[in-house]
Amino acid sequence: MAAASTTSSVIPGSFAAPSRRERPPINVEMKLAAARAIADVAPEDELVPNALDQRVHDAVSRVVREAAERSGVARPRLAAQL
């Protein structure tokens, strides 16, 4: 069951992050960033956070976007868009 929870936590944020129009391939750096974000949001006594917690999706989306920009998969966002 943990795998299903982890997948449901990662997928919404990781697919939204790189680009809303075209979705480039998700690389290892992006996957690791998502895994770390999920671990950071998980309560101390639990393996994974609640998949319905919006903080999970927000955190995953942010770090995957940043990893995509760093790795060259996505263009950096303009300050005005933030």
Q: Cα–Cα distance between 68 and 34 in angstroms, integer?
A: 11
Residue 52: give the domain boundaries: 2-81
Structure confidence at residue 73 as a pLDDT band (50, 70, 90)? confident
Q: Report how far residue 56's alpha carbon sits from residue 24's, in angstroms, rounded to the nearest whole number.
A: 22
**Single-letter code of the amino acid located at 24:** P
pLDDT tens sequence across 7-48: 555 555 555 544 455 666 889 999 999 999 999 999 999 988
pLDDT band at 77 (very low <50, low <70, confident <90, very high): confident
Confidence of residue 56 (pLDDT cuts 50, 70, 90): very high
Total domains in the fold of the chain: 1
Q: Is the pLDDT of residue 5 over 90?
A: no
DSSP string over 24-37: PPP-HHHHHHHHHH
